[in-house]
Amino acid sequence: MEKSVIYDLDTEDGIRQIGIEAVQQLIPGTNVYATGVFRLSEGETDLGDIVFDDHMHEWEYTCMGNLTHREAKKVARFIKHNFKTEVAE
């Protein structure tokens, strides 16, 4: 999967297009390192990050003011099933 995608989040207020970008860091002397951090946006608006543990079991949303817990859970589930290799590298 690409490093950045648009996810159509179905909410009570209609569809929201959420941009999801895998955050990568370069470790000196190696290739890119996956962090388990995914940056969320909606258009030009920063929605915070969803951060996973090393095994993609537990997650945390860093900016609860923009997405409800239920909406963040839907996004986290999408990430878990579609970006797994971004964390396993």
Give me the tens of pLDDT residue by residue for the chain, a chain 89 residues long.
446 899 999 999 999 999 999 988 777 777 767 778 999 999 999 999 999 987 788 999 998 668 999 999 999 999 998 876 554 44
- What is the model's pLDDT at position 89? 44
Which pLDDT score is estimated for 84?
Answer: 61
Q: How far apart are CA 16 and CA 6, in angstroms?
A: 10
Domain residue ranges in the chain: 4-88
pLDDT score recorded for residue 74: 97
Assess contact for 66 and 48: CB atoms under 8 A: yes
